[in-house]
Structure 1
Amino acid sequence: MTKLFIRWFKRNFSDPQAVVLLMILLGGFLLIYTLSDILAPVFVAIVLAYLLDWIVHLLSRKGIPRRWGVVMVFSGFVTVTLLLTLGVIPLIWQQLETLVVDAPNMMNKVKTTLDALPEQYPNFISAQQVNELYHSLGEKMGSFGQLVVSLSLSSLLNAAALLVYAILVPLMLFFFLKDKHQIIQWFLRWLPAERYLANRVWVEVNAQIGNYIRGKVLEIFIVGACSFVFFSFIGLRYSLLLGVLVGFSVLIPYIGAAVVTIPVALVGYFQWGFESQFFWLLFGYGVIQALDGNALVPFLFSEAVNLHPVAIIIAVLFFGGVWGFWGVFFAIPLATLVKAVISAWDEVKTNDDDESEIIAES
């Protein structure tokens, strides 16, 4: 057994390039796993830098010096952020407050519907099952109330954290854009010289991450805007709030669309019941999700779509469980990283096997 393990280890890790790649991957994994909470503002700034750097690069190709391009792009980003913060977020918060006020009426409608089920379908559901469901819902609402209280008690800390993000993230974003090449060169100084294989993987994954972030932000905007327009057109209440939820649901492939269907359908049912508007809502929402999955996603993420859906779901579950929100957000790029590492590793092993055969024949 020991000889078998030694033979396997020599076959896979005899090349210094493979060892360096493994060390970099393990070091990065441990760093993010242990310091993810502390480094969260850094991750936010890096994501925004990936999002905006291509605009700076485009301006540079037009003949504008990089420093002036950075100033222009950063100023535009700050302006858009302020407009969203002062214009859109208050409207979303207002609709959320209205939803909270309307919640008791919604619960009464749910109670009326549930009370009528034993009479309408006596062979499928009994009054005892309805009472058990009430008891379960009561426990859930109680735990939800405790959660609301705990969140209200920690609101001061959340406000302080938000203030830290509002100051540190724009500051780091500016320097990430301005001094991008200097920062990269500083990090490369600390890496081993035998990193050709790691460089190859990084070049491929770096391009994938940039394209993925830009595509994902564009997908969020398109899906959210189309949902908001459709919800407003048919007169659905809380259309802006639900449109934002639908837009952000695309962060979690497959799972997000299924989860956000529940609040959309519930609000439509509470507003119209099982009338024609409710079914038009479900039909239009289904069309938006179908166009997103079959037209928009293949257009924006042509290379990421090559990943099997099972691989994407496993990546979401695994990296989301390890790194939380950022693991979910970067699930597809991380899955692409794994795929690139496996491909590079197979190439190294193939080259080593060919060299061994040549030496044996000679």
Structure 2
Amino acid sequence: MFEFIKAWYTRKFSDPHSVTLLFLLLSCAALLYLFGEFVIPVLVALVIAYLLDWPVTKLEKLGVGRLLATTLVMFAFIGLVFAITVGIVPTLWKQLSNLVQEAPSMVEQGKYWLLHLPDSYPALISVDQVKVVVNTVEKKVIEFGQMLLSLSLTSLKDVIAWLIYLILVPLLVFFMLKDKSELAGGIAQMIPKQRRLISQVWHEMDQQIMNYIRGKVIEIVTVGVSSVVAFSLMDLRYAALLGTLVGLSVLIPFVGAALVTIPVAAVAMFQFGVEAQFWTVLIVYGIIQALDGNVLVPLLFSEAVDLNPVYIIVAVLFFGGLWGFWGVFFAIPLASLVKALFNAWSGQRENISEEVSG
């Protein structure tokens, strides 16, 4: 066993390019782990810059200068964000406030429905089982309310930080787009000359990250708008809020769709009862999720993501536990990065055991 490990280590890390890649990887991981909170504006700006680089590049190909192209795209992006903030956010906030006010009534109605289940299905469920479920749900609802209250209180001190982000992030995005070549050249100068594997991994990941971010935004908008339209046509209450939640749920692969089913089903049951329209809402919601998973995702991410669903779920759990929201958002690119690193270190996939036996 020792000889096997020694042979593997000698093969993989006797190459200076491998050592440089390992050192860079460990440095970036340590930086994010120790100072992740301080570099959040940079991460946000980097995501937006990746998203906006495509229209800037297209304008450049049409003969527009880099500075002018960046300025035009930034003005369009800021205008779009402002329009969304003014036109959509107030509606979502109003629906959220109304939903919070009606939440106790919804919980009581759900409790009443559960307590009467043994009368309808005595052979399947008992009163004691229902009481255990009701007590557990009530406890979780109280814990969730306390968590929301604590978040609202702690978020007050972050208002100034958010105001600073509103100024810093657009500036960072503008200069990242305008000075893309200079910034890339400066970073390249700081990396040692033994960077063949770094270049290999970077070229493999750069286009994947761009495709992933652009595809994820398209997926959020498509699923969200489709859900809002479908819920509105079925006259479901809080259609805009629930549709937005469905759109945002695609940020968390597989898990998000399961979580957002709870509020959609709860609102539909509170409004329609366990009637035909309730099941219609669930069926339409299931169709939207099926089309997203089987049509939209393969269409958008066929080139950006080539990972088994098990690896994706593990990546969501692992990186989400490390870095919270941003770990979840970048779970698939980070999993792709791990795969790219494995490919780079594997080289020609030579058989180490043959060398040991020799």
Provide the C-alpha distance between the structure 2 equivalents of 1:258 and 1:135, rounded to a whole number of angstroms.
Answer: 22
- Give yes or no for contact 2:7–2:352 (8 Å, CA) kept in 1: no
1:157 matched to 2:143? The reply is no
Structure 1 pair 297–77 and aligned structure 2 pair: CA distance change class (3 A): same
1:324 match: 324
How many residues were matched structurally? 356
Using the size of structure 1 for normalisation, the TM-score is: 0.93
**Per-residue Cα deviation, 1:61-110 (whole angstroms, up to 9, x for no partner):** 00000100000000011111111111111110000011012112212211
1:116 match: 116
Shift of 1:153: 2.2
Provide the C-alpha distance between the structure 2 equivalents of 1:349 and 1:137, rounded to a whole number of angstroms.
Answer: 52
- Give yes or no for contact 2:59–2:69 (8 Å, CA) kept in 1: yes
Amino acid aligned to 2:245? L
Tell me whether 49-58 or 154-163 shows the greater mean CA deviation: 154-163
Provide the C-alpha distance between the structure 1 equivalents of 2:245 and 2:15, rounded to a whole number of angstroms.
Answer: 48
Provide the C-alpha distance between the structure 1 equivalents of 2:54 and 2:152, rounded to a whole number of angstroms.
Answer: 40
Output aligned runs, 1:210-289, within 5 Å. Answer: 210-289=210-289
Structure 1 pair 74–351 and aligned structure 2 pair: CA distance change class (3 A): farther
Shift of 1:254: 1.2
1:48 match: 48
**Per-residue Cα deviation, 1:106-149 (whole angstroms, up to 9, x for no partner):** 12211221221232233333333333333333322332332233
- Give yes or no for contact 2:4–2:352 (8 Å, CA) kept in 1: no
Provide the C-alpha distance between the structure 2 equivalents of 1:313 and 1:142, rounded to a whole number of angstroms.
Answer: 29
Amino acid aligned to 2:211? N
Shift of 1:346: 2.0
Which SS does the other structure have where 2:194 is aligned?
A: coil
**Per-residue Cα deviation, 1:141-171 (whole angstroms, up to 9, x for no partner):** 3323322332232242132222122111111
Provide the C-alpha distance between the structure 2 equivalents of 1:331 and 1:131, rounded to a whole number of angstroms.
Answer: 39
Which SS does the other structure have where 1:324 is aligned?
A: helix
2:86 match: 86
Structure 1 pair 14–342 and aligned structure 2 pair: CA distance change class (3 A): same
Provide the C-alpha distance between the structure 1 equivalents of 2:141 and 2:277, rounded to a whole number of angstroms.
Answer: 29
Amino acid aligned to 2:111? K
Using the size of structure 2 for normalisation, the TM-score is: 0.94
Provide the C-alpha distance between the structure 2 equivalents of 1:218 and 1:144, rounded to a whole number of angstroms.
Answer: 31
Amino acid aligned to 1:9? Y
Provide the C-alpha distance between the structure 1 equivalents of 2:328 and 2:265, rounded to a whole number of angstroms.
Answer: 25
Provide the C-alpha distance between the structure 2 equivalents of 1:42 and 1:141, rounded to a whole number of angstroms.
Answer: 36
Provide the C-alpha distance between the structure 2 equivalents of 1:322 and 1:155, rounded to a whole number of angstroms.
Answer: 21
Shift of 1:2: 4.7
- Give yes or no for contact 1:212–1:301 (8 Å, CA) kept in 2: yes
Identify unmatched segments of 5+ residues in structure 2: none
Provide the C-alpha distance between the structure 1 equivalents of 2:152 and 2:212, rounded to a whole number of angstroms.
Answer: 35
Amino acid aligned to 2:97? E
2:201 match: 201
1:66 match: 66
- Give yes or no for contact 2:212–2:333 (8 Å, CA) kept in 1: yes
- Give yes or no for contact 2:249–2:257 (8 Å, CA) kept in 1: yes
Which SS does the other structure have where 1:154 is aligned?
A: helix
- Give yes or no for contact 2:305–2:336 (8 Å, CA) kept in 1: no
Q: CA RMSD in A?
A: 2.1
Tell me whether 146-155 or 297-306 shows the greater mean CA deviation: 146-155
Provide the C-alpha distance between the structure 2 equivalents of 1:37 and 1:141, rounded to a whole number of angstroms.
Answer: 29
Structure 1 pair 305–176 and aligned structure 2 pair: CA distance change class (3 A): closer
Provide the C-alpha distance between the structure 2 equivalents of 1:85 and 1:340, rounded to a whole number of angstroms.
Answer: 38
Tell me whether 192-201 or 319-328 shows the greater mean CA deviation: 319-328
Percent identity over the alignment is 51
2:13 match: 13
Amino acid aligned to 2:323? W
Amino acid aligned to 1:159? V
2:135 match: 135
Structure 1 pair 124–209 and aligned structure 2 pair: CA distance change class (3 A): same
Identify unmatched segments of 5+ residues in structure 1: none
Provide the C-alpha distance between the structure 1 equivalents of 2:339 and 2:86, rounded to a whole number of angstroms.
Answer: 42
Amino acid aligned to 2:247? G
- Give yes or no for contact 1:304–1:332 (8 Å, CA) kept in 2: no
Amino acid aligned to 1:236? L
